[in-house]
Amino acid sequence: MTRHTPIPIRAAKRAIEEAGELYAKEIGLVPGGPINDLVMDLGGSIEFKDFVHDSLDAESVLVNGPDDFQIFIPTFTSPERDRFTIAHELAHFLLHYPEVQKAHHGAGNNDDPKMYARRYVEETDPDLRRAEWEANWFAAGLLMPRSPVLEAFDRYKGNVQTLAEVFNVTPKAMTVRLASLGKP
């Protein structure tokens, strides 16, 4: 079975972040709210595994079809880290799998193409690096929408720990998001 790698959509960073924000709004995801049910609603599952003896990588997604995918999470990471990882892997499913379908479906191939996105990619492959960036941008928009983050930044006087707790992400994820929004 051939497992294709993600194909980036090549939209601007801001457009991808906004797509994440819009998707959150469409599905009623509130800042800090749970996202695990979303995976199930889309036909996916989340598997927590000990990756020492497994052939699949931690923090990855295996897509078997448009309503059949598994997100793999290591057993040793925090719930906040897991939440961002799930959003990131969902981004691969929502953004990149349709591109894989377009590129590899048809021309006599009636089977749904498979896609496998893993966290650690070849740094020499610009398409895989780009797909990883896009997944991060979408996840950031999904979990930490611009306006609510900026409002909370003012309300909590830029306290990263408090902001991370409000949005249910790691302080590192919040720090990266604040930097992308021009906040120290």
pLDDT interval class at 20 (50, 70, 90): very high
pTM above 0.85, yes or no: yes
CATH number for the domain harbouring residue 51: 1.10.10
Compute CA 140 distance to the chain's CA centroid, rounded to the nearest angstrom.
8
Q: How many domains does the chain have?
A: 1
- Is 117 a member of any domain? yes
- Is 170 a member of any domain? no
- Is 151 a member of any domain? no
Predicted confidence (pLDDT) at residue 116 exceeds the cutoff of 80: yes
Q: What is the pLDDT of residue 13?
A: 98
- Is 182 a member of any domain? no
- Is 44 a member of any domain? yes
Distance CA(65)–CA(43), nearest Å, equals 9
- Is 38 a member of any domain? yes
pLDDT interval class at 110 (50, 70, 90): low
Average pLDDT over residues 124-136: 95
Q: For residue 8, what are the domain limits?
A: 3-144
Distance CA(62)–CA(119), nearest Å, equals 12
- Summary mean pLDDT of the chain: 93
- Is 168 a member of any domain? no
Average pLDDT over residues 56-75: 92
Predicted confidence (pLDDT) at residue 100 exceeds the cutoff of 70: yes
- Is 94 a member of any domain? yes
Q: What is the pLDDT of residue 159?
A: 98
- Strands (DSSP E) contained in 13-136 are 44-49, 60-65, 68-74, 114-118
